[in-house]
Chains A and B, each alone.
Chain A
C-alpha cells in the first residue's frame, strides 16, 4: 500500500500544480486579451454604461483582487456566473458535458475497434494488398484536416447519398458522421502505431523461439506478440483520447454538436471568463485522470515499471 502511495503521491502533486498553472494562465490571458462588456451591450452604448456593467460584474477591480477571489471560489467549486448566459458557469458546462462524452467515447471506441485489428492484420500480412490499402487510407485519415473531412462527409454521405442527417444531435444516425470525423485521426494513428509495434515485436528473439518451438502462428501472434506490442499502443491511445477532446472543438462546430468544445470556443469569443475557466479546469482534470489511468495500466501490462 505504501508502495502505491509512493508511486502516486508525487504524480498527484505534479497534477495539482499543473491544474493550478493552467487555470492561472487562462485567467491572465483571457483578461488581457479582451473585454466582455462591450459585447453584451448595444454597439452604441456610451462609455458610462460600459463602466457601469463592468462594475456590476466586478471587472473594475484590480487583477490580483479578481484573481484571489477567483481562486478562493474555485477551491470551493464555484466558478462564478456566466457573463453570457447569466446562470452559474458550472451548471452550463455540466449541461454540455454529456454530448461531448457521447461523441468522444463513440469516436474513441470506433477508432479502437477499427484500428487495432487492422493494424495487427497489416503487420502480420505485411506488404499484402490489405496492408497497402490500410496504410494508404490511414495516411489520408491522418493528414486530412478535421473541418475538411467533416464538411466532405456532410456533402457526400448526408446531402448526396442521404444516409445521415447533416448536423445536430438526435438519434444514433446523428452520431455517425461526427464520430467518424472526430475519430479519423486517432483511427489512423492507432492503426499505424499498432502495425509498427506488432512488426517490431515479431522481429524479437522470443517470437523466433516460439515459432521454433513449433507453436502455431496465430498463437504466436495472439499470446506472445500482442501482449508485448500493447505497451506503446496503450500510451498513444491514452494520448489520443486527449487529442479527441481537442478535436471536438472543430468537429462540434462543424456538426452543430452541443458539446463543451463548441461551448469553449464560443465562450472565448464572448470573453465569458467563468465558462472558459470552468471548461479548462474540467479538461485539465480529465487529462490528469487519463494519465493516471495510463500509468496504472502500464503497471498491469509491464511488471518492470511496477513499484517495488
Chain B
C-alpha cells in the first residue's frame, strides 16, 4: 500500500546528487521565507491537496495503490470505517454483529443515495462485495474478501454475510480496500470501462473531471449522510517531486500535502503559515529475511543481526525522531499489541558472542534495497551495513529497482534481507504479520510448527482472549527466530496550512469527512 505510493517519488531520491542539491538550495533559502502576517484562517471554499503521484483508476476494485485509495475512500463509502483512533465506526452499515460463528449481520443505513440519485440498498452491498472475487470481473482485490462464502439480503436494509470459517476480522476487512461500495444498477448499465470513466459512489465528494497527471476535480456531495464537508470543491494535484510539493504548500497553492518526508518537517513546521500533522504508521518497516539460505537459517545469526542494529540512532538521525523502535512483530496501535514488551535491544557485544556461538564463518549477507520504495530505505540499508560490519558480519548492499523487487517477491528469489513495510490493513496482527509470514504469504521463507498452529487458530477464532494469548506466544517464538528484523514504526506526516484542521488516519486512507476536517474561518 504505502508500498506503491512511494514509488512515484522514486525519481527524486533515485539520484543522491539531486536530493543533495535540493536540500542545499532549500537550506540556503529557508530563512528568507518570512512572508506577511500568517494566514491562520481562511474563507476558501476549495480544498486543494497534493500527493506524490496521480491516481491510475477511479474504479475502486481495480487498484490498491495508496495514491488511488486516498481518492476512492472519498468518492465511495465502506460498510464500516476506521477512524484516526484506530477503531471501527459505522459507515454505510450502522451496526454489525456476529449472529452465528460464521455469520455476520450488518444493519444498513437507510435513506442513503448514490451521486446519481439511485438509492443505496443491500443489493448494492452484496453486488459490490461479490464483484471483488467474481472471476469474470478480473478485479485487483480478488483476495481481500475471499473469506466470504455467500451473502444473503433478507431485506433492503440487512446484509447477512456467511464466511467459510469463523472470521473475527470481517468488519475490519470491509473497512479497507475491496470494501468500497459501488452502485449495482449504474455499474451494470455503464459496464466496467464506463464506470471507471464516470464513477458514482455514496461518498462525501462526487467526481467532476480528471486530467491525468494534472488535476482531479471533485465536488462536495451536498446530500452526504455524514454531513456536507467544509468545502464546495476538492482538487487533487499530483506533484511527483518532494521539493516542489513542499514549495507549493509553503507558497499557499495547496492546503494539504501527503507523504511529507521527515527531513522536510522542519521547513514546514518552521514556516509561519504551515504545520505538520502526523499519525503513527499502522505497520512496521522491517527487513524481511530469507531464512532458508545459510547463514540466515540459523536463528542465532538472526538474533545477532537484530542486536547489532542501533535502532535508536536510525530513528534519531535518519528520521529526525519521527518514529519509534518496535518491540516485536505487532505494530503499536493494533489489537493485541503488548505495551509491556521492551523495544528491540541494541547490544553489539552480545551480537558478537552470538555470532561466535552460531559458528558464523563470514558468509556474505546481502541487503537488497530499493531506493525510496519505503522512505529512507537506502539510507537505512547503508547505516545497517555499517552496524553489521562493526560486529564482524560480511554484508553487501545491492540496489534494485521497484519492479525488480516486485518480481523477486513473486518468484521468492531474494538472496538475504530486503525491505518491507507490512501495513496493518485490519488493525490486527492477522491482517499484517500473519497475512505475510503465514504459509503462502509473500514473506513465507520460514516455518515453525507451533507458530503456524497458533497463527491458524487465531485467524479463525472469534474469542479475542484466546487470540491475545496466541499472539503473545507467537511473539516469543518470533523474537527467537526473527523471520523479520523489525527496524522502525515511523510517523506518516502531512503538511497542512495552519487554517486546515485535519486529523490523519494511520492507515493512509486519507478519508476527508465532516468529523475530521474543517477550515478555520475568521
Contact = CB atoms under 8 A, between A and B. Distances in A.
Contact of A271 (B138, B403, B441): B403
Interface stretch (B26-34, B114-122, B217-225, B514-522): B26-34
Contacts of A148: 18, 21, 25
Interface in A1-47: 33-47
B66 to A, nearest CB: 11
A44 B29 contact: no
Contacts of A265: 11
A151 B403 contact: no
B214 A262 contact: no
A87 B62 CA distance: 13
Contact of A168 (B62, B239, B406): B239
A118 B205 CA distance: 53
A34 B404 contact: yes
Contact of A96 (B26, B140, B212, B442): B212
Contact of A159 (B15, B17, B33, B442): B33
A148 B404 CA distance: 28
A33 B404 contact: yes
B57 A35 contact: no
A266 interface: yes
A224 interface: no
Nearest to A44: B435
Nearest to A144: B21
Contacts of A42: 1, 64, 140-141, 143-144, 177
A269 B240 contact: no
B248 interface: yes
A159 B248 CA distance: 8
Nearest to A268: B403
Contacts of A297: none
Contact of B25 (A33, A34, A52, A151): A151
Contacts of B15: 147
A154 B251 CA distance: 10
Interface string A261-283: 01101100111000000000000
Contacts of B1: 42-43
B244 A154 contact: yes
Given A86-B193, A151-B25, A160-B29, A168 B56 contact: no
B142 A49 contact: yes
B340 interface: no
Interface in B17-47: 17-18, 21-22, 25-26, 29, 32-33
A44 B253 CA distance: 37
Interface stretch (B2-10, B166-174, B342-350): B2-10
Contacts of B211: 95, 258
B435 A256 contact: no
B124 interface: no
Contacts of B177: 42
Contacts of A85: 56-57, 212
Interface in B194-224: 196-197, 211-215
| Interface pairs A-B: 10 shortest CB-CB | A34-B403, A38-B406, A258-B213, A258-B214, A256-B239, A42-B64, A166-B247, A166-B248, A167-B244, A35-B407
23 contacts: A33-B403, A38-B403, A39-B7, A42-B177, A44-B441, A49-B142, A49-B143, A52-B142, A85-B57, A86-B59, A96-B212, A145-B18, A145-B21, A151-B241, A154-B243, A155-B243, A155-B247, A158-B247, A160-B33, A168-B237, A254-B241, A263-B213, A266-B53
Given A42-B64, A159-B33, 20 more contacts: A33-B401, A33-B404, A35-B410, A36-B403, A38-B403, A38-B410, A40-B140, A43-B1, A43-B4, A44-B442, A49-B143, A56-B138, A86-B62, A86-B193, A87-B197, A95-B212, A147-B15, A159-B29, A162-B251, A266-B240
Interface of B: 1, 3-4, 7-8, 10-11, 15, 17-18, 21-22, 25-26, 29, 32-33, 53, 56-57, 59, 62-64, 135, 138, 140-144, 177, 193, 196-197, 211-215, 237-241, 243-245, 247-248, 250-251, 253, 401-404, 406-407, 409-410, 423, 435-436, 440-442
Interface of A: 33-47, 49-50, 52-53, 56, 84-87, 92, 95-96, 99, 145, 147-148, 151-152, 154-156, 158-160, 162, 165-169, 253-256, 258, 262-263, 265-266, 269-271
